[in-house]
Structure 1
Amino acid sequence: MNSPSGGTHTPYPDEALDWLLPAGSPRVLDLGAGTGRLTRRLHERGLDVTAVDPSAAMLAALRRTLPGVTTHQGVPEHLPLPDGCVDTVLVAGGWQWDDPGRAWAEIARVLSPGGRLGLIRTVRDERTDWVSRLGEILGGAPHPEPHMGPPFSRAERASFPWEQRLTPGDLISLVGSRSHMILLPADERAAVLAQVRQLIATHPALLGRDRYTLPYVTACTRADAAAPLAGTPLA
Protein backbone atom coordinates (compact mmCIF):
# COMPACT_ATOMS: atom_id res chain seq x y z
CA MET A 1 0.00 0.00 0.00
CA ASN A 2 1.33 3.39 -0.97
CA SER A 3 1.53 5.73 2.03
CA PRO A 4 2.41 9.27 0.99
CA SER A 5 3.48 11.72 3.64
CA GLY A 6 1.20 14.50 4.79
CA GLY A 7 0.38 17.51 2.67
CA THR A 8 -2.42 19.74 1.49
CA HIS A 9 -3.31 17.97 -1.75
CA THR A 10 -4.29 14.44 -2.62
CA PRO A 11 -1.35 12.64 -4.29
CA TYR A 12 -2.52 10.18 -6.93
CA PRO A 13 -0.60 6.93 -6.31
CA ASP A 14 2.32 6.24 -8.63
CA GLU A 15 1.02 2.71 -9.13
CA ALA A 16 -2.28 4.04 -10.46
CA LEU A 17 -0.61 6.47 -12.86
CA ASP A 18 1.80 3.77 -14.04
CA TRP A 19 -1.20 1.56 -14.83
CA LEU A 20 -3.16 4.31 -16.58
CA LEU A 21 -0.45 5.90 -18.72
CA PRO A 22 0.95 4.23 -21.85
CA ALA A 23 4.70 3.70 -22.14
CA GLY A 24 6.97 6.53 -23.17
CA SER A 25 6.23 10.21 -22.71
CA PRO A 26 2.64 10.68 -23.82
CA ARG A 27 1.07 14.09 -24.32
CA VAL A 28 -1.67 14.16 -21.69
CA LEU A 29 -4.92 16.09 -21.39
CA ASP A 30 -6.18 16.47 -17.81
CA LEU A 31 -9.89 16.92 -18.50
CA GLY A 32 -11.82 18.53 -15.66
CA ALA A 33 -8.51 19.55 -14.10
CA GLY A 34 -9.98 21.73 -11.36
CA THR A 35 -7.23 23.35 -9.32
CA GLY A 36 -4.63 20.97 -10.75
CA ARG A 37 -4.13 18.13 -8.28
CA LEU A 38 -3.72 15.53 -11.01
CA THR A 39 -2.06 18.05 -13.34
CA ARG A 40 0.67 18.57 -10.76
CA ARG A 41 1.41 14.84 -10.54
CA LEU A 42 1.64 14.56 -14.33
CA HIS A 43 3.84 17.66 -14.54
CA GLU A 44 6.17 16.18 -11.90
CA ARG A 45 6.67 13.20 -14.20
CA GLY A 46 7.99 15.52 -16.90
CA LEU A 47 5.00 14.96 -19.18
CA ASP A 48 3.61 17.47 -21.67
CA VAL A 49 0.27 18.13 -19.97
CA THR A 50 -2.65 20.35 -20.95
CA ALA A 51 -5.39 21.21 -18.45
CA VAL A 52 -9.02 21.84 -19.44
CA ASP A 53 -11.79 22.83 -17.03
CA PRO A 54 -15.12 24.69 -17.35
CA SER A 55 -14.33 26.98 -14.40
CA ALA A 56 -12.21 30.07 -14.95
CA ALA A 57 -11.72 30.34 -11.17
CA MET A 58 -10.34 26.80 -10.97
CA LEU A 59 -7.95 27.38 -13.85
CA ALA A 60 -6.75 30.63 -12.29
CA ALA A 61 -5.84 28.70 -9.14
CA LEU A 62 -4.08 26.05 -11.25
CA ARG A 63 -2.02 28.65 -13.09
CA ARG A 64 -0.85 30.20 -9.83
CA THR A 65 0.77 26.91 -8.78
CA LEU A 66 1.69 25.58 -12.25
CA PRO A 67 2.41 28.64 -14.40
CA GLY A 68 4.13 26.59 -17.13
CA VAL A 69 1.13 24.35 -17.88
CA THR A 70 -1.11 25.11 -20.87
CA THR A 71 -4.73 25.67 -19.80
CA HIS A 72 -8.02 26.07 -21.67
CA GLN A 73 -11.52 26.77 -20.43
CA GLY A 74 -13.90 24.23 -21.92
CA VAL A 75 -16.30 21.34 -21.37
CA PRO A 76 -16.02 17.70 -22.51
CA GLU A 77 -18.70 18.19 -25.18
CA HIS A 78 -16.76 21.09 -26.76
CA LEU A 79 -12.99 20.76 -26.27
CA PRO A 80 -11.01 23.82 -27.46
CA LEU A 81 -8.25 21.63 -28.92
CA PRO A 82 -7.28 20.42 -32.42
CA ASP A 83 -7.72 16.86 -33.70
CA GLY A 84 -5.20 14.27 -32.55
CA CYS A 85 -3.26 16.65 -30.29
CA VAL A 86 -2.84 14.36 -27.24
CA ASP A 87 -1.99 10.72 -26.69
CA THR A 88 -3.88 10.25 -23.42
CA VAL A 89 -6.93 11.85 -21.84
CA LEU A 90 -7.28 11.45 -18.08
CA VAL A 91 -10.47 12.35 -16.24
CA ALA A 92 -10.31 12.39 -12.44
CA GLY A 93 -13.78 12.04 -10.97
CA GLY A 94 -15.65 14.29 -13.42
CA TRP A 95 -17.21 12.02 -16.03
CA GLN A 96 -20.91 12.75 -15.36
CA TRP A 97 -21.59 14.91 -18.41
CA ASP A 98 -24.67 16.59 -19.89
CA ASP A 99 -24.24 14.85 -23.26
CA PRO A 100 -22.15 11.67 -22.82
CA GLY A 101 -22.29 10.65 -26.47
CA ARG A 102 -20.88 13.96 -27.64
CA ALA A 103 -18.27 13.92 -24.85
CA TRP A 104 -16.97 10.49 -25.95
CA ALA A 105 -16.80 11.70 -29.56
CA GLU A 106 -14.90 14.85 -28.57
CA ILE A 107 -12.42 12.89 -26.46
CA ALA A 108 -11.83 10.51 -29.36
CA ARG A 109 -11.36 13.46 -31.72
CA VAL A 110 -8.51 15.03 -29.73
CA LEU A 111 -6.72 11.70 -29.20
CA SER A 112 -3.96 10.52 -31.51
CA PRO A 113 -4.69 7.24 -33.37
CA GLY A 114 -5.03 4.45 -30.84
CA GLY A 115 -4.83 6.94 -27.97
CA ARG A 116 -5.87 6.11 -24.42
CA LEU A 117 -8.67 7.29 -22.17
CA GLY A 118 -8.29 6.84 -18.41
CA LEU A 119 -10.88 7.51 -15.73
CA ILE A 120 -9.85 7.97 -12.10
CA ARG A 121 -12.06 7.95 -9.04
CA THR A 122 -10.35 8.56 -5.70
CA VAL A 123 -12.61 8.07 -2.69
CA ARG A 124 -12.08 7.97 1.03
CA ASP A 125 -12.34 4.49 2.52
CA GLU A 126 -15.25 5.18 4.85
CA ARG A 127 -15.14 1.81 6.62
CA THR A 128 -13.20 3.75 9.27
CA ASP A 129 -15.68 5.50 11.60
CA TRP A 130 -14.14 8.97 11.73
CA VAL A 131 -13.67 8.94 7.94
CA SER A 132 -17.35 8.05 7.55
CA ARG A 133 -18.26 11.02 9.74
CA LEU A 134 -16.00 13.28 7.68
CA GLY A 135 -17.87 12.13 4.58
CA GLU A 136 -21.19 13.08 6.18
CA ILE A 137 -19.86 16.58 6.89
CA LEU A 138 -18.54 17.08 3.37
CA GLY A 139 -21.60 15.61 1.68
CA GLY A 140 -21.57 15.04 -2.06
CA ALA A 141 -23.25 12.67 -4.47
CA PRO A 142 -22.58 8.92 -4.63
CA HIS A 143 -19.81 7.75 -6.93
CA PRO A 144 -21.25 5.65 -9.78
CA GLU A 145 -19.14 3.19 -11.70
CA PRO A 146 -17.85 4.74 -14.94
CA HIS A 147 -19.36 3.52 -18.18
CA MET A 148 -17.43 4.22 -21.37
CA GLY A 149 -19.26 4.82 -24.62
CA PRO A 150 -18.11 4.04 -28.17
CA PRO A 151 -15.39 3.91 -29.37
CA PHE A 152 -14.10 3.05 -25.89
CA SER A 153 -15.86 -0.27 -25.44
CA ARG A 154 -13.18 -2.66 -24.12
CA ALA A 155 -12.34 -1.23 -20.72
CA GLU A 156 -10.02 -2.59 -18.03
CA ARG A 157 -10.34 -1.76 -14.33
CA ALA A 158 -8.00 -1.78 -11.34
CA SER A 159 -8.09 -0.41 -7.77
CA PHE A 160 -5.23 0.94 -5.68
CA PRO A 161 -5.64 1.36 -1.89
CA TRP A 162 -3.34 3.83 -0.18
CA GLU A 163 -3.07 6.02 2.90
CA GLN A 164 -2.15 9.61 3.65
CA ARG A 165 -0.60 10.73 6.91
CA LEU A 166 -2.05 14.05 8.03
CA THR A 167 -1.67 16.53 10.85
CA PRO A 168 -4.81 18.35 12.05
CA GLY A 169 -3.72 21.37 9.99
CA ASP A 170 -3.21 19.18 6.93
CA LEU A 171 -6.75 17.82 7.25
CA ILE A 172 -8.25 21.31 7.44
CA SER A 173 -6.18 22.41 4.43
CA LEU A 174 -7.16 19.29 2.49
CA VAL A 175 -10.85 19.91 3.08
CA GLY A 176 -10.50 23.60 2.25
CA SER A 177 -8.73 22.88 -1.04
CA ARG A 178 -11.52 20.69 -2.45
CA SER A 179 -12.93 22.17 -5.63
CA HIS A 180 -16.51 22.51 -4.38
CA MET A 181 -15.28 24.12 -1.16
CA ILE A 182 -13.41 26.81 -3.06
CA LEU A 183 -16.62 27.75 -4.86
CA LEU A 184 -18.81 27.89 -1.74
CA PRO A 185 -19.88 31.25 -0.30
CA ALA A 186 -17.53 32.27 2.50
CA ASP A 187 -20.06 31.68 5.30
CA GLU A 188 -20.93 28.16 4.07
CA ARG A 189 -17.26 27.28 3.66
CA ALA A 190 -16.53 28.50 7.21
CA ALA A 191 -19.42 26.40 8.57
CA VAL A 192 -18.08 23.20 6.98
CA LEU A 193 -14.56 23.84 8.25
CA ALA A 194 -15.96 24.48 11.73
CA GLN A 195 -17.62 21.05 11.66
CA VAL A 196 -14.33 19.44 10.64
CA ARG A 197 -12.52 21.19 13.52
CA GLN A 198 -15.25 19.93 15.87
CA LEU A 199 -14.72 16.40 14.58
CA ILE A 200 -10.97 16.69 15.23
CA ALA A 201 -11.60 18.00 18.74
CA THR A 202 -14.17 15.39 19.79
CA HIS A 203 -13.83 12.08 17.93
CA PRO A 204 -12.05 9.45 20.08
CA ALA A 205 -9.85 8.33 17.15
CA LEU A 206 -8.57 11.90 16.60
CA LEU A 207 -8.70 13.60 19.99
CA GLY A 208 -5.25 14.59 21.24
CA ARG A 209 -3.37 13.07 18.31
CA ASP A 210 -0.94 15.06 16.19
CA ARG A 211 -1.19 12.78 13.12
CA TYR A 212 -3.86 10.61 11.52
CA THR A 213 -3.98 8.04 8.74
CA LEU A 214 -6.61 8.83 6.12
CA PRO A 215 -7.36 5.75 3.96
CA TYR A 216 -8.28 6.03 0.27
CA VAL A 217 -9.03 3.81 -2.69
CA THR A 218 -8.17 5.00 -6.20
CA ALA A 219 -10.30 3.14 -8.76
CA CYS A 220 -9.11 3.35 -12.37
CA THR A 221 -10.59 2.47 -15.75
CA ARG A 222 -8.63 2.54 -19.01
CA ALA A 223 -9.36 1.87 -22.67
CA ASP A 224 -7.63 2.59 -25.97
CA ALA A 225 -9.43 4.05 -28.96
CA ALA A 226 -10.31 1.26 -31.34
CA ALA A 227 -9.27 3.02 -34.53
CA PRO A 228 -7.89 6.34 -35.88
CA LEU A 229 -10.59 8.90 -35.21
CA ALA A 230 -9.11 12.31 -35.96
CA GLY A 231 -11.59 14.38 -37.89
CA THR A 232 -14.57 12.16 -37.05
CA PRO A 233 -17.69 14.33 -37.42
CA LEU A 234 -19.83 14.81 -34.34
CA ALA A 235 -23.43 13.66 -34.33
Structure 2
Amino acid sequence: MERPGLASSFGTAAAAYAEHRPDYAEAAVRWALERAPGARVLDLGAGTGKLTGTLVALGVDVVAVEPDPAMLAELRRALPTARALSGGAEAIPLPDASVDAVPAGNALHWFDMALAGPEIARVLVPGGVLSGLWNVVDDRVDWVAGLARVAGSAAIGPRDTVGEWRAATAGLLPTGPGSPFGEPERAEFPHGQRRTAESLVATLATRAGVLVLPEPEREAVLDRIRAYLAHRPETASGGFTLPMATGVLRARRR
Protein backbone atom coordinates (compact mmCIF):
# COMPACT_ATOMS: atom_id res chain seq x y z
CA MET A 1 0.00 0.00 0.00
CA GLU A 2 1.20 3.55 -0.77
CA ARG A 3 2.28 5.88 2.03
CA PRO A 4 -0.92 8.01 2.12
CA GLY A 5 -3.04 4.89 2.64
CA LEU A 6 -0.83 3.66 5.43
CA ALA A 7 -0.70 7.08 7.07
CA SER A 8 -4.48 7.39 7.04
CA SER A 9 -5.01 3.96 8.62
CA PHE A 10 -4.48 5.09 12.20
CA GLY A 11 -7.83 6.81 12.59
CA THR A 12 -9.56 3.43 12.41
CA ALA A 13 -7.78 2.44 15.62
CA ALA A 14 -7.47 5.82 17.37
CA ALA A 15 -8.75 4.63 20.75
CA ALA A 16 -6.47 1.58 20.73
CA TYR A 17 -3.53 3.78 19.67
CA ALA A 18 -4.21 6.12 22.57
CA GLU A 19 -4.46 3.21 25.02
CA HIS A 20 -1.51 1.10 23.92
CA ARG A 21 1.16 3.17 22.20
CA PRO A 22 4.00 4.31 24.50
CA ASP A 23 4.93 7.86 25.37
CA TYR A 24 8.45 9.16 24.69
CA ALA A 25 11.53 9.07 26.89
CA GLU A 26 11.69 12.48 28.61
CA ALA A 27 15.45 12.71 28.08
CA ALA A 28 14.89 12.24 24.35
CA VAL A 29 12.31 15.03 24.22
CA ARG A 30 14.62 17.36 26.14
CA TRP A 31 17.45 16.60 23.70
CA ALA A 32 15.13 17.24 20.75
CA LEU A 33 14.39 20.72 22.10
CA GLU A 34 17.65 21.75 23.76
CA ARG A 35 19.04 23.78 20.84
CA ALA A 36 15.79 25.64 20.20
CA PRO A 37 16.03 29.40 20.72
CA GLY A 38 12.77 29.55 22.68
CA ALA A 39 9.93 27.53 24.19
CA ARG A 40 7.21 27.83 21.51
CA VAL A 41 6.76 24.29 20.23
CA LEU A 42 4.67 22.76 17.44
CA ASP A 43 3.94 19.04 17.86
CA LEU A 44 3.42 18.16 14.20
CA GLY A 45 1.48 15.04 13.29
CA ALA A 46 0.54 14.84 16.96
CA GLY A 47 -1.73 11.81 16.71
CA THR A 48 -3.49 11.11 19.99
CA GLY A 49 -1.08 13.33 21.94
CA LYS A 50 1.59 10.89 23.11
CA LEU A 51 4.33 13.48 22.56
CA THR A 52 2.07 16.43 23.35
CA GLY A 53 1.57 15.16 26.88
CA THR A 54 5.31 15.02 27.53
CA LEU A 55 5.75 18.52 26.09
CA VAL A 56 2.97 19.85 28.33
CA ALA A 57 4.63 18.22 31.35
CA LEU A 58 7.92 19.91 30.44
CA GLY A 59 6.19 23.28 30.61
CA VAL A 60 6.73 24.46 27.05
CA ASP A 61 4.19 26.50 25.09
CA VAL A 62 2.91 23.75 22.79
CA VAL A 63 0.38 23.64 19.97
CA ALA A 64 -0.52 20.27 18.47
CA VAL A 65 -1.43 19.84 14.79
CA GLU A 66 -2.97 16.59 13.50
CA PRO A 67 -4.81 15.85 10.22
CA ASP A 68 -6.85 12.79 11.23
CA PRO A 69 -10.17 13.72 12.90
CA ALA A 70 -10.37 10.57 15.03
CA MET A 71 -6.81 10.92 16.29
CA LEU A 72 -7.36 14.62 16.98
CA ALA A 73 -10.51 13.81 18.96
CA GLU A 74 -8.55 11.40 21.17
CA LEU A 75 -5.88 14.05 21.73
CA ARG A 76 -8.48 16.61 22.77
CA ARG A 77 -10.14 14.09 25.08
CA ALA A 78 -6.83 13.18 26.76
CA LEU A 79 -5.46 16.75 26.93
CA PRO A 80 -8.47 19.08 27.04
CA THR A 81 -6.43 22.15 27.96
CA ALA A 82 -3.88 21.74 25.16
CA ARG A 83 -4.22 23.84 22.02
CA ALA A 84 -4.89 21.36 19.20
CA LEU A 85 -5.57 22.24 15.56
CA SER A 86 -6.59 20.32 12.48
CA GLY A 87 -3.90 20.43 9.82
CA GLY A 88 -0.99 18.62 8.24
CA ALA A 89 2.71 19.02 7.72
CA GLU A 90 2.22 20.13 4.13
CA ALA A 91 -0.12 22.98 5.13
CA ILE A 92 0.49 24.09 8.71
CA PRO A 93 -2.20 26.39 10.19
CA LEU A 94 0.30 28.72 11.89
CA PRO A 95 1.90 32.06 10.94
CA ASP A 96 5.43 32.51 9.63
CA ALA A 97 8.26 32.30 12.20
CA SER A 98 5.81 31.49 14.99
CA VAL A 99 7.56 28.54 16.71
CA ASP A 100 11.03 27.71 18.00
CA ALA A 101 10.87 23.92 17.61
CA VAL A 102 8.91 21.37 15.58
CA PRO A 103 9.14 17.85 17.00
CA ALA A 104 7.26 15.02 15.27
CA GLY A 105 6.65 11.81 17.21
CA ASN A 106 6.61 8.69 15.00
CA ALA A 107 5.33 10.93 12.21
CA LEU A 108 8.19 12.49 10.21
CA HIS A 109 8.39 9.53 7.84
CA TRP A 110 4.75 10.07 6.83
CA PHE A 111 5.35 13.67 5.67
CA ASP A 112 5.80 14.59 2.02
CA MET A 113 9.02 16.44 2.72
CA ALA A 114 9.13 18.10 -0.70
CA LEU A 115 6.15 20.12 0.55
CA ALA A 116 6.54 19.78 4.31
CA GLY A 117 10.21 20.83 4.46
CA PRO A 118 9.61 24.38 3.20
CA GLU A 119 6.39 24.61 5.20
CA ILE A 120 8.12 23.62 8.44
CA ALA A 121 10.92 26.08 7.68
CA ARG A 122 8.27 28.77 7.16
CA VAL A 123 6.80 28.41 10.67
CA LEU A 124 10.20 28.03 12.38
CA VAL A 125 12.25 31.02 13.46
CA PRO A 126 15.85 31.15 12.19
CA GLY A 127 17.85 28.80 14.38
CA GLY A 128 14.71 26.82 15.22
CA VAL A 129 14.87 23.03 15.46
CA LEU A 130 13.07 20.32 13.52
CA SER A 131 13.20 16.86 15.09
CA GLY A 132 11.77 13.42 14.50
CA LEU A 133 11.35 11.02 17.40
CA TRP A 134 10.76 7.28 17.08
CA ASN A 135 9.98 4.74 19.77
CA VAL A 136 11.84 1.59 18.73
CA VAL A 137 12.15 -1.85 20.29
CA ASP A 138 15.59 -2.93 21.46
CA ASP A 139 16.48 -5.84 19.20
CA ARG A 140 19.86 -6.16 20.93
CA VAL A 141 17.86 -8.14 23.51
CA ASP A 142 17.50 -11.76 22.37
CA TRP A 143 13.78 -12.24 22.93
CA VAL A 144 12.97 -8.89 21.33
CA ALA A 145 15.01 -9.80 18.24
CA GLY A 146 13.05 -13.07 18.08
CA LEU A 147 9.79 -11.17 18.39
CA ALA A 148 10.76 -8.95 15.46
CA ARG A 149 11.47 -12.00 13.31
CA VAL A 150 8.17 -13.68 14.22
CA ALA A 151 6.09 -10.51 13.89
CA GLY A 152 7.40 -9.64 10.44
CA SER A 153 7.78 -6.25 8.82
CA ALA A 154 4.07 -5.40 8.98
CA ALA A 155 4.27 -5.23 12.79
CA ILE A 156 7.96 -4.47 13.43
CA GLY A 157 9.73 -2.97 10.45
CA PRO A 158 13.33 -1.72 10.18
CA ARG A 159 12.31 1.74 11.35
CA ASP A 160 10.95 0.15 14.54
CA THR A 161 14.17 -1.40 15.91
CA VAL A 162 17.27 0.03 17.57
CA GLY A 163 19.47 -1.81 15.11
CA GLU A 164 17.89 -0.35 11.98
CA TRP A 165 16.15 2.94 12.70
CA ARG A 166 19.10 5.16 11.78
CA ALA A 167 19.48 3.63 8.33
CA ALA A 168 15.73 3.42 7.83
CA THR A 169 15.27 7.14 8.54
CA ALA A 170 18.32 8.35 6.61
CA GLY A 171 17.55 11.05 4.08
CA LEU A 172 14.26 12.12 5.65
CA LEU A 173 15.40 15.67 6.30
CA PRO A 174 16.19 17.94 3.33
CA THR A 175 19.84 18.95 3.75
CA GLY A 176 22.66 20.15 1.53
CA PRO A 177 23.01 23.28 -0.61
CA GLY A 178 19.79 25.26 -0.81
CA SER A 179 18.13 23.43 2.07
CA PRO A 180 16.72 25.49 4.94
CA PHE A 181 18.11 22.92 7.39
CA GLY A 182 21.63 22.11 8.53
CA GLU A 183 23.15 18.67 8.88
CA PRO A 184 21.14 16.39 11.18
CA GLU A 185 22.26 14.91 14.49
CA ARG A 186 21.05 11.60 15.94
CA ALA A 187 20.88 10.06 19.39
CA GLU A 188 19.11 7.24 21.22
CA PHE A 189 17.76 7.26 24.77
CA PRO A 190 16.81 4.23 26.90
CA HIS A 191 13.10 3.66 27.24
CA GLY A 192 10.65 0.90 28.14
CA GLN A 193 6.96 0.15 28.40
CA ARG A 194 5.20 -2.07 30.92
CA ARG A 195 3.21 -4.66 29.01
CA THR A 196 1.55 -8.04 29.30
CA ALA A 197 1.51 -10.47 26.40
CA GLU A 198 -1.99 -9.38 25.42
CA SER A 199 -1.30 -5.66 25.74
CA LEU A 200 1.85 -6.04 23.63
CA VAL A 201 -0.20 -7.82 20.96
CA ALA A 202 -2.69 -4.93 21.18
CA THR A 203 0.17 -2.45 20.75
CA LEU A 204 1.51 -4.19 17.65
CA ALA A 205 -2.02 -4.37 16.26
CA THR A 206 -1.95 -0.55 15.97
CA ARG A 207 0.98 -0.60 13.52
CA ALA A 208 0.04 0.78 10.13
CA GLY A 209 1.25 -2.32 8.32
CA VAL A 210 -1.00 -4.51 10.46
CA LEU A 211 -4.03 -2.20 10.29
CA VAL A 212 -4.17 -2.37 6.49
CA LEU A 213 -3.87 -6.17 6.22
CA PRO A 214 -6.96 -8.17 5.21
CA GLU A 215 -8.57 -9.56 8.36
CA PRO A 216 -7.40 -13.21 7.93
CA GLU A 217 -3.79 -12.09 7.40
CA ARG A 218 -3.99 -9.66 10.28
CA GLU A 219 -5.22 -12.35 12.67
CA ALA A 220 -2.54 -14.76 11.45
CA VAL A 221 0.18 -12.21 12.28
CA LEU A 222 -1.26 -11.51 15.72
CA ASP A 223 -1.70 -15.23 16.45
CA ARG A 224 1.98 -15.85 15.61
CA ILE A 225 2.96 -13.10 18.03
CA ARG A 226 0.70 -14.51 20.76
CA ALA A 227 2.17 -17.98 20.36
CA TYR A 228 5.73 -16.63 20.53
CA LEU A 229 5.05 -14.57 23.66
CA ALA A 230 3.30 -17.54 25.32
CA HIS A 231 6.45 -19.66 24.95
CA ARG A 232 9.08 -17.12 26.02
CA PRO A 233 9.89 -17.15 29.75
CA GLU A 234 10.25 -13.36 29.74
CA THR A 235 6.67 -12.84 28.57
CA ALA A 236 4.68 -16.02 29.25
CA SER A 237 3.04 -14.86 32.46
CA GLY A 238 2.33 -11.55 34.16
CA GLY A 239 3.77 -8.16 33.35
CA PHE A 240 7.16 -7.29 31.91
CA THR A 241 9.01 -4.26 30.60
CA LEU A 242 9.43 -4.17 26.83
CA PRO A 243 13.03 -2.98 26.22
CA MET A 244 12.92 0.08 23.99
CA ALA A 245 14.71 3.28 23.05
CA THR A 246 13.57 6.63 21.74
CA GLY A 247 15.64 7.62 18.72
CA VAL A 248 15.88 11.30 17.79
CA LEU A 249 16.88 12.99 14.57
CA ARG A 250 17.23 16.78 14.77
CA ALA A 251 18.38 19.63 12.54
CA ARG A 252 18.45 23.42 12.90
CA ARG A 253 16.86 25.86 10.53
CA ARG A 254 19.48 28.04 8.90
| TM class by smaller structure | 0.7 to 0.9
- Shift in Å, 1:104: 0.9
Q: 1:4 corresponds to which residue?
A: none
Q: Give SS of 2:208's match.
A: helix
Secondary structure, aligned partner of 1:61: helix
Task: Return the alpha-carbon distance in structure 1 between the equivalents of residues 142 and 235 of structure 2.
Answer: 11
Note the 1:24-103 alignment, pairs <5 A: 26-97=39-110, 99-103=112-116
Aligned residues: 218
Distance of 2:235 and 2:245 partners within structure 1: 21
Find the aligned partners of 1:89 and 1:197 in 2 and give their Cα distance.
37
**Which of 146, 154, 158 is the aligned partner of 1:142?**
158
SS of alignment partner, residue 120 of structure 2: helix
Q: Secondary structure at the match of 1:164?
A: strand
CA deviations 1:106-133 (Å, max 9, x no partner) are: 0011112321111112211123343234
- What is the rounded CA distance, in whole Å, between the counterparts of 1:127 and 1:165 in structure 2? 18
Are the structure 2 counterparts of residues 21 and 113 from structure 1 closer, same or farther at C-alpha, using a change threshold of 3 Å?
same
Change (3 A) 1:88 1:172: same
2:246 is matched with which residue: 192, 215, 218? 218
Q: Where do 5+ consecutive residues of structure 2 fail to align?
A: 1-18, 160-167
What pairs with 1:3-18 in structure 2 (closer than 5 Å)? 8-18=20-30
Distance, in Å, in 2 between the alignment partners of 1:59 and 1:200 is: 32
Q: CA RMSD in A?
A: 3.0
1:10-38 Cα offsets, whole Å, 9 max, x none, are 13112211211136861111111111111
Aligned counterpart, 2:208: 180
- Aligned equivalents of 2:250, 2:113: Cα separation in 1: 17
Instruction: Give the Cα–Cα distance (whole angstroms) in 2 for the partners of residues 32 and 98 of structure 1.
Output: 9
What secondary structure does 2:108 align onto? Answer: coil
Give the distance between the partners of 1:60 and 1:182, measured in 2 at CA: 22
Q: CA deviation at 1:8?
A: 4.3
Structure whose residues are more often helix by fraction: 2
Work out whether residues 76 and 97 of structure 1, in 8 Å CA contact, stay in contact via their aligned partners in 2. Answer: no
2:12 corresponds in structure 1 to: none
What's the CA shift for 1:52? Answer: 1.6
Map of 2:120 onto structure 1:
107
Q: Which amino acid aligns with 1:161?
A: P
Q: 1:98: Cα distance to partner?
A: 6.1
CA contact (8 A) 2:211 2:218 kept: no
Deviations 1:30-82 (A, max 9, x none): 11111111111111222221122221111111111111222222221211221
Q: Which residue of structure 2 aligns with residue 232 of structure 1?
A: none
Contact map agreement 1:175 1:181 (CA 8 A) in 2: no
- Aligned residues of 1:119 and 1:146 also touching (Cα < 8 A): no
Identical amino acids, percent of aligned pairs: 39
Which aligned segments of 4 or more residues in structure 1 are displaced greater than 6 angstroms?
Answer: none
Q: Which amino acid in 2 is paired with 1:118?
A: S
In structure 2, what is the Cα distance between the partners aligned to 1:25 and 1:105? 20
Does 1:162 pair with 2:191? yes
Q: 1:204 offset after TM fit, Å?
A: 3.6
